[in-house]
Amino acid sequence: MKVGVPRESAAGERRVALVPDVVKRLAGRGVEVVVEPLAGEAALIPDALFEEAGATIGDPWDADVVVKVAPPDSEEIGRLKRGGTLIGFLAPRTQPETLQALAAAGVTAFAMEAIPRISRAQSMDALSSQSNVAGYKAALLGAEHATRFYPMLMTAAGTIPPAKVLVLGAGVAGLQALATARRLGAQTTGYDVRPEVAEQVQSLGARWLDLGIEAAGEGGYARELSESERAQQQQALTDAIKGFDVVITTALVPGRPAPKLVTAEAIEGMKPGSVVVDLAGEAGGNSELTRPGEVVVEHDVTIVSPLNLPATMPEHASQLYARNVQALLELMLDDDANLALDFDDEVIAGACVVKEGEAVQA
C-alpha cells in the first residue's frame, strides 16, 4: 500500500500529517510512503529526514491513502485518486460541502474528529492530542498577556500574591490549561457543567467552582443547556469571573456555536489588566466580546482568541497527530500491509464520513 503525505495548504497550518519516526515504523511494515517536497518545512522537518526514514519525496496524490491535517480545498480534492482513501480532520459537522465534494470525487474518507471516543481508540484520538497542545499554549498566552505575575513572589520589596486563573470547561484542553497554569505558579480553579469531572480538576491541585448546574452529554461532551439553565449559569459565572485575573475558556458543543459563558458584564467587572483567553473562537467564541483570531482590549481587559493553536507548536503537534494517524492506519492494514477496511469494526465505521463516493455521516 502507498500512503501520500501532501504539504498543507491552509493558511497558518504548519503541521504535517506524518513525521519521520512514524514513516520509519510504517516502512518497517512494508508500507510505501511518498511525501510531497517541503511537506514538513513549516514543522521544521526537512525532506532529508523523511528520506532517511524510508520515504520517497514525490507526488503524494496518486497514493492509495492520502493523509492530511486540515480539510482539503477543492483543488486538493480534485487531485485525489478516484477510489482512493483520505484521512484527516474533515470538519464533517461544519463543512458538509467538503463531504459532498469528496463523495463526488469517488473517494472514501475518514475524519479524525469522528473517531469514536472509546478505550481501544485512545491511541487514535487526535482531538485529544491536539487539545493538549491548545490547552498548554492557552495557559502561556494568559501569562503573556497578563499584567500580573502568575506565581507568588516573596521579595525584599514585599510579597506578590499568585494570579487567580479560572478555566471554563474541563475537557482535555481545559485540564491541560489548569495543569500548565499551576506549574507556572498560579492559583487555579476549574469549572464545567459536568459535575463528574470535579475530581479530575481537583486532582490537578485546582479548586472546583460549583454553580449548581449539570449538563452531562454523550461522548464526553456537555449537552446544550436550556434557556433558563443558560441564564442561571451566565449570571453565576458573571459574579464569579470578576474575582479572577485570567479566564481561559474551552467550552464547545459539537456541531453548534460555542456557548457564550463570559458576558460583556463579566468582562466589565474584571480588574483592569485581566485577560480572557478564548479557545472557542473557531466556533464563535465563549465570550460575548470575542473577535475570533484577534487580540482586543475591552474595559481594560485583554481578550485573546487564537485560531488553530496546535499549528503554533508544529513540531510536537505533528508528532502527536502522526501517531494518531499511524494507529488508525495500522487498524486498516492486513498482515501483508494491504488496505483492508473492515466496516464491521466500530472505529472504522465511526470514522468513515464518505464511503466509496457516498456521504454516510454529516
What is the model's pLDDT at position 229? Answer: 79
Do 142 and 246 belong together in one domain? yes
Q: What percent of the chain has pLDDT over 90?
A: 86
pLDDT digits (tens, 9 = 90+) for 155-199: 899 899 999 999 999 999 999 999 999 999 999 999 998 889 999
- Nearest to 241, CA basis, from 288, 194, 195: 288
The torsion region of residue 293 among left (phi > 0), alpha (psi -120 to 50) and beta comes to left
Tell me whether residue 176 is in a domain.
Answer: yes
What is the model's pLDDT at position 356? Answer: 92
Tell me whether residue 125 is in a domain.
Answer: no
What is the model's pLDDT at position 230? Answer: 75
Tell me whether residue 119 is in a domain.
Answer: no
Q: Which of 9, 74, 95, 122 is catalytic?
A: 122
Does the annotation mark 226 as catalytic? Answer: no
Residue 50 maps to which CATH number? 3.40.50.720
Do 84 and 142 belong together in one domain? no
Q: Which of 221, 223, 235, 291 is catalytic?
A: 221
pLDDT at residue 132 tops 90: yes
Strands 164-168 vs 2-5: parallel, antiparallel or unpaired: unpaired
What is the model's pLDDT at position 215? Answer: 62
Instruction: Give start and end residues of each alpha helix (H) in the chain.
Output: 20-28, 47-52, 74-79, 96-104, 126-145, 172-183, 198-203, 227-241, 264-269, 314-332, 346-351
Do 354 and 247 belong together in one domain? no
pLDDT at residue 362 tops 60: no
What is the model's pLDDT at position 81? Answer: 95
- Nearest to 80, CA basis, from 95, 102, 96: 102
Grid coordinates representing 104 are 463526488
Tell me whether residue 53 is in a domain.
Answer: yes
pLDDT digits (tens, 9 = 90+) for 71-115: 999 999 999 999 999 999 999 988 999 999 999 999 999 999 999
Q: Which of 14, 125, 278, 318 is catalytic?
A: 125
Do 90 and 233 belong together in one domain? no
Q: What angle do CA 73, 77, 79 make, to 5 degrees?
A: 120
CB-CB contact of 56 with 33 (8 Å):
yes
In sequence order, the 6+-apart residues with CB closer than 8 A to the CB of 97 are: none
Do 66 and 148 belong together in one domain? no
Does the annotation mark 117 as catalytic? Answer: yes
CB-CB contact of 305 with 250 (8 Å):
no
What is the model's pLDDT at position 292? Answer: 96
Do 20 and 56 belong together in one domain? yes
pLDDT at residue 216 tops 70: no
Average pLDDT over residues 36-44: 98
Q: Which of 29, 79, 93, 117 is catalytic?
A: 117
**Is 156 exposed, middle or buried (CB count within 10 Å of its CB: 0-12, 13-18, 19+)?**
exposed
Average pLDDT over residues 216-238: 73
In sequence order, the 6+-apart residues with CB closer than 8 A to the CB of 199 are: none
Q: Please report which confidence band the pLDDT of residue 234 belongs to, taking 50, 70 and 90 as the band edges.
A: confident
Q: What is the extent of the structural domain holding 105?
A: 2-114+314-359
Does the annotation mark 128 as catalytic? Answer: yes
Cα atoms in the Cβ-side hemisphere of radius 13 Å centred on 104: 10
pLDDT at residue 220 tops 60: no
User: What is the greatest pairwise CA distance in the chain?
Assistant: 71
Do 47 and 81 belong together in one domain? yes
- Scan for cell 483570531, then name that residue: 293
pLDDT at residue 226 tops 90: no
Which residue would you say has higher pLDDT here, 346 or 235? Answer: 346
What is the model's pLDDT at position 194? Answer: 86
What is the model's pLDDT at position 135? Answer: 98
Do 147 and 286 belong together in one domain? yes
DSSP 118-150: SGGGGGG-HHHHHHHHHHHHHHHHHHHH-SS-S
Grid coordinates representing 281 are 473562537
What is the model's pLDDT at position 218? Answer: 60
Strands 246-249 vs 295-298: parallel, antiparallel or unpaired: unpaired
Average pLDDT over residues 232-257: 91
Average pLDDT over residues 17-44: 97
b/e sequence 311-330, b meaning 16+ C-beta within 10 Å: bbbbebbbbbbbbbbbbbbe
How are strands ordered across the β-sheet holding 246-249? 207-208, 187-191, 164-168, 246-249, 275-278, 301-304, 295-298
pLDDT at residue 57 tops 80: yes
Q: What is the pTM of this model?
A: 0.92
Q: Please report which confidence band the pLDDT of residue 221 belongs to, taking 50, 70 and 90 as the band edges.
A: low
What is the model's pLDDT at position 277? Answer: 98
pLDDT digits (tens, 9 = 90+) for 260-305: 999 999 999 999 999 999 999 999 999 999 999 999 999 999 999 9
pLDDT at residue 223 tops 80: no
Which residue would you say has higher pLDDT here, 342 or 216? Answer: 342
Do 81 and 139 belong together in one domain? no
CB-CB contact of 322 with 17 (8 Å):
yes
Does the annotation mark 300 as catalytic? Answer: no
b/e sequence 347-362, b meaning 16+ C-beta within 10 Å: bbbbbbbbbeeebbbe
CB-CB contact of 236 with 242 (8 Å):
no
Do 342 and 305 belong together in one domain? no
Q: Which of 14, 128, 233, 323 is catalytic?
A: 128
Inter-axis angle of helices 314-332 and 20-28, to 10 degrees?
Answer: 20
Does the annotation mark 221 as catalytic? Answer: yes
**Total domains in the fold of the chain:** 2
